Each structure stands twice: as C-alpha cells, then as structure tokens.
Amino acid sequence: MRFPQHRGLLSAALTMTLLGVAAPSAAGASLADRDGDKVFDDLERRLAHIDDSEAVAVIVILRAPATAERVHDLAVDAGGFETTARFSIVDGFAARMTRAEVRAISRNATVAHVELDLPVHASNNTAQDSFGVTKARIDGGFDGDADGSAATYSKDDLVAGARRSAPSSTSSS
C-alpha cells in the first residue's frame, strides 16, 4: 500500500494519527491552498516549471469514496491521466497528471484538493509524552529525586525504565 509514502494536509494528519508518522520534511507553507483553487501551493509552483506534456505525481483528495468507477470517470473527464493507487483510509487516490489534467480535475465538485505526492519520514518521537515512562512521570509527578537535590543525579536517586520482554517459548521439546 502506498499510503504512508504520500503527504498532504489531510493524508499526513491522518497518517500521523494512525501510524505515528511525523510531519513531512518540507512541511509549512507548501501544505496550503492560499488562493482557494483546490491546487496546493507547492504543486502550483511545480506545475509552473514543467512542460505541457510532463506529468507529475499527485494525490487527489475527494469528497466521496475513491471507488474504481468514480476514479475512472474523473480520469476520463480530466483527460485520461494514469492512476497509480486508490486509498480506502482517506477518500482519495494517487495519479500522474499533466498541468492541464490537474486544472481540469480541480474544477470537479467531487474533488476536495490536489497536492504533490512526496515522501514523508516515519518518526515515533511524538508518543513519548503520551505513553510509557514519560507519561507515568508526568501524571504521577515523579522526578526520581531521592537524595534531596532534584537538579542533580546521584546513586541515591531513583531511575525507572521500560523493557520489552521476549515472548515466552511455547516449545514442547
């Protein structure tokens, strides 16, 4: 499934929530459609610098499920672009489109927006304050201080950690 390798405002937010994926490396102003034409700013910049016949990888987010029939009809209406993946977690699909195809599909009422299809990078840093030792320390107010000096560490201070145990063997030999 190609979904985790794509980015975009909606898809990235959902991906981060479900899979612990961090914000795209190029996050920021690019993940916006400031002129409201349903084509993200970074895609518009890219389209401005390609030939009419060149296709770019895009993600199209729909306002309805990306059924095979719906995506096929959108492709026919917009000029016959190549669809590379359909998504079920979000209503959308990936495709390769020319500038004219992007403009055509963005005018369709079923389309929420069109964005560049670029890589994202996995990270698990954001969960540290929500689970495990850090969460327990925050909720319980534990600072590990047992020697009377919270600003320093000594052999008398307390240390907590988490260890993942190997599954017990079920061998019957």
Chain residues that interact with Ca ion, rule: CB under 5 A: 33, 35, 37, 39
Closer to Ca ion at the Cβ: 39 or 111?
A: 39
Contacts of 167 (CB under 8 A, 6+ apart): none
- Which lies closer to Ca ion via its Cβ, residue 32 or residue 64? 32
What distance lies between CA 165 and its chain's CA centroid?
31
* Calpha distance 107→131 (Å, rounded): 44
Q: How far is CA 19 from CA 14, 26, 52, 130, 148, in A?
A: 8, 19, 37, 15, 41
Q: Which of 15, 30 has the CB closer to Ca ion?
A: 30
**What are the structure tokens assigned to 24, written together?**
């795209």
The rounded distance, in Å, linking the Cα atoms of 20 and 127 is 8
What stretches of 20-98 show up as alpha helix (H) in DSSP? 41-47, 68-78
Residue number, 32 or 136, with CB nearest to Ca ion: 32
